[in-house]
Amino acid sequence: AVAGDDVRSADAPSFGPPSYHLSLKEAVRFACANNLLGIMCNSSLLTRVPALIRNVKDNGLFLVSFGRENYSEQPRAAQKSHGVDALICDGVIAYEADDNVEYAI
């Protein structure tokens, strides 16, 4: 599920028509109800309201962010420190595994 306030930005992955883009609360509910591993959310929402990250993580979901904020070091570091699992930047998904090594897909 994809959630965020500006999911139609140039950085947003396209997973169907805009009607499939949900509020974060609905994305969490949908992901949990359908046994999904996690959700993707626009980084602007997560950097403005970091408490939302905890909400996603408390539901046992993997959280990936995308958006303009992922191009700057400070917002990336803030998202990681609050629990974002992976960030999409320039079409590359970067995540840090338990061994503290950053991987890119």
Q: CA nearest 27: which of 40, 10, 8, 43?
A: 40
pLDDT at position 5 over 60 = no
* Distance of alpha carbon 83 from alpha carbon 30, whole angstroms: 20
**Which tens digit of pLDDT belongs to each residue from 23-72?**
888 999 999 999 999 999 999 999 999 999 999 999 999 999 999 999 99
DSSP bridge partners of 42? 66
Question: pTM here?
Answer: 0.75
- Tell me what the pLDDT averaged over the chain comes to: 82
Indicate whether 11 pLDDT > 80: no
